[in-house]
Structures are given as C-alpha cells and as structure tokens.
Structure 1
Amino acid sequence: MKNLITLCILMGFVMSIHAAKKPNVLFIAIDDMNDWTTLFDDNNPIKTPNLKRLAARGCFFTRAYCTTPACNPSRVSILTGLRPSTSGVYSNGNAWKSLLPNVVTLPQHFKENDYATIGAGKIFHHGGTGVDRKDKPSFEKFFPLQLHANKPKHNYNGYRRGDKKIGALAHYGWDWGVHDVDKQTDEYTVNYINKVMAEYPKDKSLFLAAGIFRPHLPFWAPPASFARYPLDQLRLPPMPRNDLNDVPPIGRNMSRTEGFIWDNASKKAPEHPGSLKKMVQAYQAASDYSDEMVGRLLDQLDKTGRAENTIIILWSDHGYHLGDKSATVKFTLWEKANHVPFIIVAPGITKPGTRCDRPVSLVDIFPTLNELANLPVKVELDGQSLVPLLKNPQMNWKRPALMTQNPGNHAIRSDRWRYIRYKDGTEELYDHSKDPWEHENLASNPEYKAIKEQHKKWLPKNEKAFR
C-alpha cells in the first residue's frame, strides 16, 4: 500500500511537470510592414536586424501573404482562421462582432484550453468595427493601444490641420516625421508585455500577444531611427512612367484609395517635409523603430528564461506601397501590399535559420498554432497547419496563397506567378522570376493562357456577400 501511494505521488509529480512544460506563445503583430526590409534581402534599404535575429532562431517564410490588404479584415482572418469570403469581413467598415457573433477566436481557443491569455496594443483592429467583443473577450487581460500617444501640436509633414484642400492629410493620423518625445505608442505596449513576462508565474501556460502599431501612419519615429536613413542616400521604389496603362480599371481604382496622399506628396519638391521622398524616409524610419520594439520583446523573453519553452510567431497584417504602382496605400492586390514578414520559432520543431520559400497564407496561423500547442482540432478553419513545412521546408506544397480585396476580386500567388482576377472578369498576370515589381501585365498574352487556368482553379467557389 505504501509503495502504491509513493507511486501515485511520483506519477502526479511527473504529470504536473509535463503540464508545466506546455509551450507558451508569444504572438507578435506588426502593422503595415512590407517586404522591402533586410529580413528578405540584405540589399533592401529598411534595416530590420531584430527580425533577422528572430528568423535565425526558427523558420522564416519568404513568401507569406495576407488574406486581404486592410487592417480589420486581415486581423479578423488571422484571429478567426476564416477567409473574408467565408466570414463576410472584407473591409475596415465591417463589424466582425456582428457578422461572427459566435466564432471562437484564436486567443479564446487557447483560453478555453487552460492558457492565460494576455495582450496589448493592436491585435484586433482599433475603432468600433474592429475591437474585441465585451461579452466574449478573447483575452483575460488586455492593455489597450495607446493610439497616437503624445501627438504633436502641429503636423511634422507641413500639411496644415484644417486645410480642406488636402483631404485627410490635414489630420495628424496621416502625418510623418521625426517624433522626438519621451515615449511613443508602441513603447507603452512593449513595456506592458515585458512586465507580464517578468512577473507572470512560470507554472501557468501563457498566450501573450503584443501588437506593434508602427510602421502604420502616422509615420513617426525618434531621431535615432531617422539618422539611419539620410535623405541624400534614400532609395525610392522604381516608378516607371505609365506603369498602370496595362492595369484594368478596378486595379487602378484600388491604387487610388487614399489618393490624397499620392496627389499631394508626389508633387512636392524632395526637400519639402510633405514630399513623397520624405514620406518614404519616414516609413523606413518607422519600420526600423518597430524592429527595435521586437528586439526589446526578444531581450525580455531571453532574460526571463521562457524562450526555450515559447513558440514565437511574428507577422504583419499586410504590406504597403511607397510610390510604386503610383500608390501610397495598401488596399490593392499587388505584391507590395500583400507580401509580409512571417516567422515561426517552435522549440523542438523548427531548425534555427530555416527559410521556407513555399507560398503560404496568414490564415494558416490558427491551425498551425493549434497543432504546435496540441489543442483540440477545429475543423471549421479555412487555413491549414504549416507544421509539415516547419519540419521540412522544402517539401512539395501545392496550395498557393489566396488574397481578396472585396467580393469577386482575388489574387493567387504561386512560387513564380501572381494572377489577379477582378469581379468584372478582367485580369493581371505577373512573372516574378523576371518582374518582381510587377511592371508588365501578361494576362492578355495567349502564350500564358494555361498558366492563368492553373491559377483560376484556386479562386473561391462561394463568397459571402458584402454587407
């Protein structure tokens, strides 16, 4: 009897140790970061040493794509595992709480499986349509985004507040420039998350979400970030004349979303604080600054000793055009608005320094984390687990990435090609082996008819109506 009691005690001890080793999750979101960073290529102008440092720990997906190039629907897709064509959440104006009242979100799923869920910053989209549900909160504790913290009295970019001729550029939300203040928006977020990492009991499995707002407009960054991007050495994207001549009307209209930015900034002299060149400089500095925030999170994770038992996942909700395609927005189906940084570090699964070149979608995040944490399977998800690619990044992967910008407008990205089909049947096709900036639309060339047909089969068969 004594031996049996001892055995039971030992078994209970072993089971408690095993339960304590359930992996933590550090879920890092970045807002509006495109692929023109040194994470993708050391020759790119935007310096992201901390993203490279994170990638060196696990697997960097070099061809990862958002499901839709807008904050609210992209984040809803990631957090619910549902594409816009399934959920009906297509735009920043769609209230996901009304369209998906009973959906179980990713952090909520972890909470229901004995994880403490704590977050801060921009995870869901801010504003009335994007914020989390009050009656079914995804997080046990959440420190809200300190949006536009310590904003200046006047715009740095020289556009005067209240000037109706310049559209929304008159608002500080579309400002850019050196923001020399004691503490910015993302520092509040990172300080809160780092405090949780330092103080939260290690015997409780933790799903910790940090939403970094930069480089989203306003493109504010401290002087040290700007110093790394001197204006006389600044690189602008290629902007060939008449680039949009072979683009269908719907595509051109997408590029004109928030056209007031392009219309004003592109006409200013380069030295003007509101010029396109100054805007690009500010975006690069703001991206650099967001990379610094990632570094602070990694430093704290290492300091607390949690790293060896923590899955780290980093993503950006979509990319951003910086004058390429005559656009200074994200709401298009072209590469620069869709292609994003995406890194997974899974202890015991990922091999440090791995690069996976297979096209994947951010809708795959939910099923991937679900499998990595060994949680109950959710069959209703649209994505598929990327764990097989984490184990073998070179494996055959037939499914391309699908992007949507409102019903009927979709892009398919395979290893080599980007195929776009708009709701009126017009098309674009780009060969990324020769044309990474997508300057030549090949869709009308009969030589590529078979390529288009191969990609068409991946378009959604059914779509929720826009409401």
Structure 2
Amino acid sequence: MKKKLVILAVFGFLISSCKTKPSRGLGISEEPSKPNILFISVDDLNNMIGPIDNFSNIKTPNFDRLAKMGVTFTNAHVQAPLCGPSRASIMTGLRPSNTGIYGMIDDNEIRRLGNPATKDITFLPEYFGNNGYHTMGIGKLFHNHAPDSMFHESGGRVPGFGPVPEKRFVWDGFGKGIKGVHGRTSTDWGAFPENDTLMPDHDSANWAIERLQRDYDKPFFLGLGFLRVHVPLYVPQKWFDLYPLEAIETPPYRADDLNDIPDVGLQINDLPMMPTTQWAKETGNWKKIVQAYLACISYVDNELGRVLDALESSNYADNTIIVLWSDHGYRLGEKETFAKHGLWETATKAPLIFAAPNLPKGKKIDLPVEMLSIYPTLLELSGLTAYDRNEGKSLVPMMNKDADVEESYALTTYGMNNHAVRTHQFRYIQYEDGTEELYDHSKDPNEWENVAGNDEYNDKIKELKKLLPDHNAQWDEKSMYKFQPYFVEQKARTSLNK
C-alpha cells in the first residue's frame, strides 16, 4: 500500500511540475483550444522585399525568414491605395464602394449610425474578442491606432511619424493645390536618430515582445502596427550604410509614361505635396530617396526579427498564426511621382504573408488576391465561424489546395466610381467618366502602354467590366482627403448631387 502511495505521489508531482507557471494578472494558463493571432502591419511597404521583388539587392533577412515559415502572396492588392480607406476596408471586411469611405476617416467615425454599411459592423479584432480571445494592439493598425475600447489592452500610438532632426528638408511644392486648402506631407529623408532605441517602432516591438512573454488563460490576438516605411524616411545611419549610393538601382521609368492616361487619371496623379520624378532626376535626389526607402525597410525588417525571435522562444511558437500585410504599395518614381495614390500596379500591390501550423512552408502564390481576404482567412485558420458580412473570400483553399485559381482577381477603388481590376494577365482601370486604361502584363509588366483603345482587346475589356462593383456609395460625410485637389472637388461635387 505504501509503495502505491509513493508512486501516486511521484506521479502527482510530475504532473504538477509540467503545469504552466501562473500568469501575470490573467489567471492560470491552459493550453488554448484555438490558435493565437500575431497581426502585423507595415505602413507604406511595397513589394521590394526579398521574398517578392528582391529589389536592388535589398537586405531583408526577417521578411525572408517569415516567408519560409508560410505562404507569400506576391500579387496581393489593396482595396484602396491610401491608408485610411485601405485599413478601414481590411478591418470592416467591406469594400470602399459599399461604405463610401474613400478618404481618411477618424477611427471612431468608421462605425456610426450615419453610415448604413458600417453602423453595426464587427471589426476584425473585435470578432476575435467576441469569440473568447484576449485582444491587444499597439501602433498604427487602423488609420490612427484603433477605435476607443477596441482592445482589451492597448499600447496606443505615438502621434506623427517622427522622430525628425531639427534641421530638415521638406518637399513643399503645392502645384495646383492651394495653400491653406490642400495639405502636404513630409517627404524628406536622412540618417536620424542615433540608434534604434529612439524609434517609436522599437518601443512598439518591445511592447509586443513583452506580451509574448506572458502566460494567458485564453488564446490571444496581438496587433502590431509599424509606422515605417511611411515618410519622412528617417532611420539610423547603420541602415543607410547597407546601401551605398553608387549601387542603388532606380525603378523602371519612361518620361512619356503619362501621355496615354485619361484626364481623370492625370487629375488623380496630380499630387502637389509629393516630389516629381523629373525634379528628383534633375536635382540628383532619385537614388537618395530610394536609398532612404530601402534603409527604412531594413530597419523594419530588424524590428520584425526581434518579434519573431520572441515568438519562437515563447510558449506559443507552435500555436500562433502570423499575418503580415501593408496598407498599399509605394511608387518610387513610377508614373512621375513618389507616393501611393494611384490605380496602377506599384500603388495597389503590397506584401501579404501568412504563416500557420497547418499551412505549407515556403510557398509562393503569384495569383492576384485582395487584402480584403485577411479577415475571412484568419477566421477559417482559427476555426471560427465565418462572418457573413465579409465581402472578401478566405485564401485557405488557395494556400492549401491551389483552389479558386481560375476566378482569382483583385479590385481596387480610389475615390467614388474609379476602379482597377487586376487579373493574372491584365489590369483594367475605369474612371468615373467612363474613360479606360488596359495593360497586358504578359507584354508590359511596367504598365507603360495603355491598350484600351486597341480593338484586339475589346472582348477582354467587356469581360473585365463585369468584375466592377454594381454599387458606388456616396462619399461618407466623415471621410475626406484634403491633400489632393481632385478628391476635394469630387467629394464636393458628388455631395451636391445627393
């Protein structure tokens, strides 16, 4: 009998010693029944990173590392080439053409009674919170940070996009814009501050790392929004040192690239707050801007690596879904400017990477997909019930079984009734006045030749038009974009027609 008691005592001790340590304020941790979510956004990041374009010998070991952990979409497109409406679309699961959120909007104004499409929508992080997840977030996730009380724990966001030196160059050309009516953005660059610890993104990464070191009694949703690569392009000198100026490549460019663009497209591309490519060429600044952009990417890559290290050394390495995305691409001289703001490839295309326990490793998918798919994809990967308000479709079948290939396409909207459709071979653009652009990527990957007027493509245009949205909501009264003359005028004009 004593021998049995000793055996039972030892067995009990072994069981108790295997239990997870008590959590820090969240109760005793048990193995969660559902996977955790690490939700990472990188502001203004285009496809220059190693796993996708590998531009100009870019150094992104941690983007490369994440790509090897999961599935990389090399042809993912945003639903609006501007941060406010793009992030609102990702977080609501709704298209801009249905919400009327075509411009910037305060996080707390996205869901309100005045907008019939969003008045009772459940935001992406909120859906997880409603299904038993402990939600946390820091940095730029929505346009500012997040609506009030969105997360159980919020680290907030440092205002602006600093730090910046006391003496700096800021592009302040207004073009057709009117000072006091149209705004400008800080487009300047350089080596500042002295080290990474002075960057807000470093603090955000620290916050996320500390949360990954805690114990939880339920699955968690952790959102981390990096501010870089958004202008101004300031990071410490060591990141510039990775890219000697003489070795910098510049993107493909043609001086006559805008000659076959319809008038509305030219109006949208009139960005008085941004440098022009001609100015950058004439002043010798083009390579300097590209260098600064690449330096900022490598800086963010390093912060990403710190977070991945923390996850891999945590209790959650084998039960966490990671998604990394950006809110739009960024043009570095293509189509005559340095900006997102456009319905062309380099403005709408951005990185999208998923890594999860049950997904393939190191897989790349070149078919066009939408950032709108992030919401339903995370729900399916997590085993949660699909949200019937989502307008995107889950990418899980495509990642696991190469399904849904034939009908794959992406739709981007910029302002009311201006749309681009991207299929595997074509980009079709239709503006509010019915004028068009068509690019055949099998012959013209740089989108230099608008072939919309070529009769050879008439049937293809008819086919692509069927993918345009049937409904184009009026501008939401709380959404605006004062930086761009065309959008100021369009909102005023369409509001009068209500």
Give the residue type in structure 2 aligned to 1:225.
W
Query: What's the offset of the Cα at 1:59?
Result: 0.7
The reply on whether 1:109 has 2:127 as its aligned counterpart is yes
Counterpart of 1:186 in structure 2 is 201
CA contact 1:26–1:310 (8 Å) conserved in 2: yes
After superposition, the C-alpha distances for 1:206-246 in whole angstroms (9 at most, x for unaligned) are 10000011111111111111111111111111221211000
Counterpart of 1:76 in structure 2 is 88
Q: Distance in 2 between matches of 1:27 and 1:420?
A: 31
Counterpart of 2:97 in structure 1 is 85
The reply on whether 1:403 has 2:449 as its aligned counterpart is no
Match of 1:459 among 459, 465, 468: 468
Counterpart of 2:263 in structure 1 is 249
Q: Secondary structure at the match of 2:166?
A: coil
Q: Distance in 1 between matches of 2:65 and 2:469?
A: 37
Match of 2:231 among 217, 235, 239: 217
Give the residue type in structure 2 aligned to 1:79.
M
> 1:106 and 1:395, CA in 2 relative to 1: closer, same or farther beyond 3 A?
closer
Q: Secondary structure at the match of 2:138?
A: strand
After superposition, the C-alpha distances for 1:391-424 in whole angstroms (9 at most, x for unaligned) are 1236534031000001110000001111111111
Q: Distance in 2 between matches of 1:53 and 1:282?
A: 23
Counterpart of 2:242 in structure 1 is 228
Counterpart of 1:21 in structure 2 is 33
Query: For residues 335-354 of structure 1, what are the structure 2 equivalents within 5 Å?
Result: 335-348=345-358, 350-354=359-363
Counterpart of 2:167 in structure 1 is 154
The reply on whether 1:37 has 2:49 as its aligned counterpart is yes
The reply on whether 1:427 has 2:436 as its aligned counterpart is yes
Query: For residues 15-414 of structure 1, what are the structure 2 equivalents within 5 Å?
Result: 20-42=32-54, 44-93=56-105, 95-98=109-112, 99=115, 100-126=118-144, 131-134=145-148, 137-146=149-158, 147-155=160-168, 157=169, 173-182=186-195, 183-199=198-214, 201-262=215-276, 265-266=279-280, 268-270=282-284, 275-348=285-358, 350-393=359-402, 396-414=405-423
CA contact 1:37–1:45 (8 Å) conserved in 2: no
Q: Distance in 2 between matches of 1:158 and 1:376?
A: 48
CA contact 1:31–1:213 (8 Å) conserved in 2: yes
After superposition, the C-alpha distances for 1:247-296 in whole angstroms (9 at most, x for unaligned) are 111112222224542278426522xxxx2332221111111211222111
Please, what is the CA RMSD of the aligned residues? 2.6
Larger Rg: 2
CA contact 2:277–2:286 (8 Å) conserved in 1: no
Q: Distance in 2 between matches of 1:342 and 1:17?
A: 31
After superposition, the C-alpha distances for 1:9-53 in whole angstroms (9 at most, x for unaligned) are xxxx9xx99962310000000111111232213454433221111
CA contact 1:121–1:143 (8 Å) conserved in 2: yes
After superposition, the C-alpha distances for 1:52-101 in whole angstroms (9 at most, x for unaligned) are 11010111111110000011111111111001011111111474244334
Give percent identity, aligned residues only.
38
> 1:279 and 1:193, CA in 2 relative to 1: closer, same or farther beyond 3 A?
same
Query: What's the offset of the Cα at 1:133?
Result: 2.8
* Greater shift in the superposed pair: 402-411 or 289-298: 289-298
Q: Distance in 2 between matches of 1:394 and 1:385?
A: 11
> 1:259 and 1:449, CA in 2 relative to 1: closer, same or farther beyond 3 A?
farther
After superposition, the C-alpha distances for 1:403-459 in whole angstroms (9 at most, x for unaligned) are 000111000000111111111111111111221111111111000111111111100
| Structure 1 gap ranges (5+) | 1-12
> 1:206 and 1:260, CA in 2 relative to 1: closer, same or farther beyond 3 A?
closer
CA contact 1:167–1:260 (8 Å) conserved in 2: no
Counterpart of 2:3 in structure 1 is none
Query: What's the offset of the Cα at 1:376?
Result: 2.4
Query: What's the offset of the Cα at 1:159?
Result: 6.0
After superposition, the C-alpha distances for 1:359-384 in whole angstroms (9 at most, x for unaligned) are 11000111111111122221111111
Q: Distance in 2 between matches of 1:439 and 1:171?
A: 28
Q: Secondary structure at the match of 2:318?
A: helix
TM-score, L = length of structure 2? 0.82
CA contact 2:48–2:55 (8 Å) conserved in 1: no
Q: Distance in 1 between matches of 2:178 and 2:102?
A: 27
Query: What's the offset of the Cα at 1:304?
Result: 1.0
Counterpart of 1:4 in structure 2 is none
CA contact 1:24–1:205 (8 Å) conserved in 2: yes
Query: What's the offset of the Cα at 1:170?
Result: 11
Give the residue type in structure 1 aligned to 2:35.
P
Q: Distance in 2 between matches of 1:357 and 1:160?
A: 38
CA contact 1:421–1:427 (8 Å) conserved in 2: yes
> 1:277 and 1:43, CA in 2 relative to 1: closer, same or farther beyond 3 A?
closer
CA contact 2:274–2:339 (8 Å) conserved in 1: no
Q: Distance in 2 between matches of 1:141 and 1:87?
A: 28
Give the residue type in structure 1 aligned to 2:122.
V
Q: Secondary structure at the match of 1:340?
A: coil
> 1:406 and 1:257, CA in 2 relative to 1: closer, same or farther beyond 3 A?
same
